[in-house]
Amino acid sequence: MNSNNSTQAILTTVSVVFSFTASAILFFWEKVTDWARESFFPFVEKHLPIIREYVENAFAWIDNNIAVPTRRLIKGAWNKVRQYLLKMAIYFEKQSSNRWVRKTTSYVIKTLESKTVIKQVVEEEINWDDLSPDIRKSWMKSKENNLEIDYTALKDDNCDSMEMIN
């Protein structure tokens, strides 16, 4: 492997790790800030008081400029989608040990003025490895060869449970 390829591989790996870490931090932000207030800030105050203000300002900046706006953006985007998407259900059916059929049925309003509802069905074969971890876990817990998910209800619950700071 030449140095250009290895540099690209390192950069790609760092980007993936950074993206995953940033996503995890955003997802667990309230827990991170609770931990910081209860443990990290007191530690810094006791052992590194000279940087206390910088640390607190960094957390406040991340909260005000990244965490809260990103959550608001996600919630706003989903609310906009829900104006048109009445329901989306995803049905998974096992065909063989490694082959599944994923059938996604969506009911969409074409325009808000006409209120015309369109049913769209997309069916595709997928490999076991391409199923999301939560789908594989749900299937392993059940005795059935199929699984149905109300995607809109699941995402509504996800958005409703997002802690929002005004």
Q: Over its length of 166 residues, how does the chain's per-residue pLDDT go in tens digits?
A: 555 555 565 666 665 565 556 666 667 888 888 999 999 999 999 999 999 999 999 999 988 998 888 888 888 888 888 888 899 999 988 888 788 898 999 998 877 777 788 898 999 998 888 888 878 888 888 778 888 888 888 888 877 776 544 3
- Rg over alpha carbons for the chain, rounded to the nearest Å, is 22
Q: Judging by DSSP bridges, how do beta strands 117-127 and 99-109 pair with one another?
A: antiparallel
pTM to 2 decimal places: 0.63
pLDDT at 165: 40
CA angle centred on 153, ends 67 and 30, rounded to 5°? 25
CA angle centred on 73, ends 71 and 79, rounded to 5°? 100
Task: Find where tokens 């667990």 sit.
Answer: 28
Q: What are the domain boundaries of the chain?
A: 3-79, 84-160
